[in-house]
Amino acid sequence: MPALSRTSPVKPARGKAAPARPARDHYPRELLNQPFFVSPTTGHAEVYLSMLADTAHYVSPLMALLDQLRSEGHDISGAYEEAAAMRAVIQQASKALAQIQSIALRANHQTGK
């Protein structure tokens, strides 16, 4: 996954108002270019529940950005806790759906005999 990029802050000229400060942290679309995340035919992101639950194979650009902001000293505790809670719910839902699928497959196999 590409690293998050940063730009240096703009210093104001003497005697002039400071220009708007550009964003220091970026969330470029390239972070989404992971296997199975972007459709090769449409080029659009396609997120599946199982992908979001699989932290071993899917790197969340959102969590990477939040980790970076937190490591730089920003208080993003509310946003981080919300994102972590959503990830936990996604993982629970993914497990529940896998269990339902397993039960359905077993039931289908037993009725097919």
What's the mean per-residue pLDDT of the chain? 77
* CA distances for 20 relative to 8, 24, 64, angstroms: 13, 12, 25
Taking each continuous run of H as one helix and of E as one strand, the counts in the chain are: 3, 0
Residue type, 7: T
pLDDT of residue 43: 80
- Give me the number of domains the chain comprises: 1
> Is 43 within a domain?
no
- pLDDT (mean) for 96-106: 93
- pLDDT (mean) for 85-109: 92
With a cut of 80, say whether residue 3 has pLDDT above it: no
> Is 22 within a domain?
no
For 33-55, write each residue's pLDDT tens digit.
Answer: 777 777 778 888 877 787 788 88
Residue 100 domain boundaries:
49-111
With a cut of 60, say whether residue 23 has pLDDT above it: no
For 65-74, write each residue's pLDDT tens digit.
Answer: 899 999 999 9
> Is 19 within a domain?
no
